[in-house]
Structure 1
Amino acid sequence: MIGFVRCECSLYDVHSLKEKRSIVKSITARLKQRFNVSVAELDNQDVWQRTTFGIAVVSNTRKRTEQELQKAIKMIESDSRIEIIETDYEWL
């Protein structure tokens, strides 16, 4: 089972692309280290206070895939510098 989630996010107290990239790199690195996921910034690369993450998981069951995606989303939500505005799931 392949699960994919697209998370559109708003970043707080960011005043430059350099600050934004620092936050995005930090979050993507932590996601890759802690969970069995692939993650990338998909959109809004040139906008200071927005970003869109794509997170993918491959697992043998849908339940396990959902659990990994939910853990990744909770980790993003726990970061006070960022807020998830919208999430879209896809299942293959």
Structure 2
Amino acid sequence: MSLGLLTLHLSVPGCMSLKEKRSRLKPLLARLHREFNISVSEIDHQDSWQNAVVACAMITSDTAQTQRSLQGVVTWVETHWPDLEVADERIEIL
């Protein structure tokens, strides 16, 4: 069994309030859960208007599959969510 944790440090350019930030992040979190069947949550910088840290977690039976799937999440966010910038990413396999 393989547990994978993806931590995404996101920049939310042009965001002028926490309400606007939430309105831009909430659809992303819901879509990631739906598209990839992963657990997703904003875990840091909740009080910052233009930054967010999002964690994604998944469990699979194969370490290589976990790595590929989480890397696919990063690529998907960069491709399908152009109004957010991925400032940093970290994949951990436990």
- RMSD value over aligned CA atoms? 1.0
1:4-83 to 2 correspondences below 5 Å: 4-78=5-79, 79-83=81-85
TM-score (norm 2): 0.91
C-alpha distance in 1 between matches for 2:74 and 2:90 = 12
Give secondary structure in 1 for the equivalent of 2:61.
coil
C-alpha distance in 2 between matches for 1:86 and 1:22 = 22
Percent identity, aligned pairs only? Answer: 34
Is the contact between residue 32 and residue 38 of structure 1 (CA under 8 Å) also seen in structure 2? yes
Residue in 2 that maps onto 1:3: 4
Is the contact between residue 17 and residue 46 of structure 1 (CA under 8 Å) also seen in structure 2? yes
What amino acid does structure 2 have at the position aligned with 1:81? D
> 1:14-53: CA deviations, max 9, x gaps?
1111110011101000000100211100100010000000
TM-aligned CA deviation for residue 67 of structure 1: 2.0
Give secondary structure in 2 for the equivalent of 1:76.
helix
Unaligned residue ranges in structure 2 (runs of 5+) = none
C-alpha distance in 1 between matches for 2:47 and 2:76 = 24
Is the contact between residue 4 and residue 91 of structure 2 (CA under 8 Å) also seen in structure 1? yes
C-alpha distance in 1 between matches for 2:91 and 2:68 = 13
TM-score (norm 1): 0.93
